[in-house]
Amino acid sequence: MFPFSESPDDVIEVLNIVPLQGPAGIVAPSCEAAIALAVEEINSGTGILGREVRVTTIDGGRAPREVAKEVSALLATGMVDAITGWHISAVRRAVARAADGRVPYLFATTHEDLPNEPPGVLMIGENPAGHILPAMQWLEREFGARRWAIIGNDYIWPMATGKAVRTAHQGSITLEKYFPLGTEDFSEFLGDPRLDRADGIVLLLVGTDAVRFNQQFAHTGRSERQVRVSPGIDEGVLLAAGPQSNDNLYVVSSFFPDNRTSDPDRMARYHRLHGRFAPQLTYFGNTSYEAMYTLQSLAHGCGSLDVPLMQAALDDGMVLETPSGGRAFQGNHSQQFTALIARADGVDLQIVDTVR
């Protein structure tokens, strides 16, 4: 291990923003465990720029303005070098304004592919064209699903993703509704007669909202005749909903635990660090893991964590080496992903095909 000193000048301090409460809080255990693995591995070498990496987790499950206020206070100390984490896009918008390009900010999950992200905000996950749209095409080829209903939470990512789906499938959307985070009763959607005309449902709900919807959907008996597809469900959501709620449910993602071709030993290392009963290493945790390595590669390639220098290097075509392979950026958006589609099997996800 690199002989780090104890001076604050020899530490890279990363703020990790994950929801510790609310509907999205279900993803936090996987995210925290995964980022801990990345930090352990990076620090077992030479760290980032020869400095030890330390992570402070703050609660991204609060109102966006509250999260941004805490981030502003921490940045004012001058001791924060980077920001990452899994959190909803409304929080990202508020945090990006607070950060104002002072440190690199790696948003570690799917996004809505909106232009003009603020300087320093790097989108690590996939956009609609990289996940939900090819998954819908696959379901049409395989099962003839041509007419769709859309349900999501009423914030930036689901609504912008829904718009992309609507644009790509003009005339094929029979029903589209958005609900506040924390909704418990989805009968307004499930009881709408327009739902009967849909072959499938695009599911853009988050965390425990998705859990409740899947349970209520299963109780209607629709699972046998209508497919569901989501880029926002992981094994934790399946477990919370129960196996009886997951029939005919598909998930599209760039990472599933049984896809180990790029890094076959990752799961073994994960369990050596956290034990047999560690939280499942899901897509959401894996993007946090990838984000830490992306930060390391970016800093190594630039020799600095300076945001303008980093952005210029990415604009010049610098490719970052990460555990999942080379990662290039177009503007603020990562171009590295291969979309996989998996079918829920009880509380697990089994890959059935590559869709991109």
The amino acid at residue 179 is F
Distance from the Cα of residue 66 to its chain's centroid:
21
Burial 189-214 (b: 16+ CB within 10 A, else e): bbeeeebeebbbbbbbbbbbbbbbbb
pLDDT, tens digit, 9 for 90 and up, residues 140-149: 999 999 999 9
pLDDT, tens digit, 9 for 90 and up, residues 32-87: 999 999 999 999 999 999 999 999 999 999 999 999 999 999 999 999 999 999 89
Residue from 124, 109, 91, 85 nearest 332 by CA = 124
The answer to whether residue 328 scores a pLDDT higher than 90 is: no
Question: Looking at 256-265, 307-316, 325-334, which range is the least confident one?
Answer: 256-265
Q: What pLDDT shows up at residue 8?
A: 56
Q: Please, what is the end-to-end C-alpha distance for the chain in angstroms?
A: 39
Residue from 200, 104, 202 nearest 151 by CA = 202
Q: Cβ neighbours of residue 333 under 8 Å, at least 6 residues apart?
A: 111, 113, 117, 123, 127
Residue from 241, 197, 179 nearest 216 by CA = 241
Handedness of CA 28, 217, 353, 167 (dihedral sign): negative
Q: Is 58 helix (H, G, I), strand (E, B) or coil?
A: strand
Q: Is 192 helix (H, G, I), strand (E, B) or coil?
A: coil
Same fold, 11-126+261-323 and 128-253+339-355: yes
Q: What CATH number was assigned to the domain covering residues 128-253+339-355? A: 3.40.50.2300
Q: Is 310 helix (H, G, I), strand (E, B) or coil?
A: helix
Q: What is the DSSP letter of 136?
A: H
Q: How confident is the model at residue 1 (pLDDT cuts 50, 70, 90)?
A: very low
Q: Is 107 helix (H, G, I), strand (E, B) or coil?
A: strand
Q: What pLDDT shows up at residue 112?
A: 76
Burial status of residue 229 (CB atoms within 10 A of its CB: 0-12, 13-18, 19 or more)? buried
Bridge partners (DSSP) listed for residue 345: 348
| Candidate CATH numbers 3.40.50.720, 1.10.375.10, 3.10.105.10, 3.40.50.2300; the one for domain 11-126+261-323 | 3.40.50.2300
Residue ranges per structural domain of the chain: 11-126+261-323, 128-253+339-355
Rounded to the nearest 10 degrees, how much is the dihedral formed by the CA atoms of 186, 20, 265, 130? 50
Q: Which residue has the tokens 């029979």?
A: 174
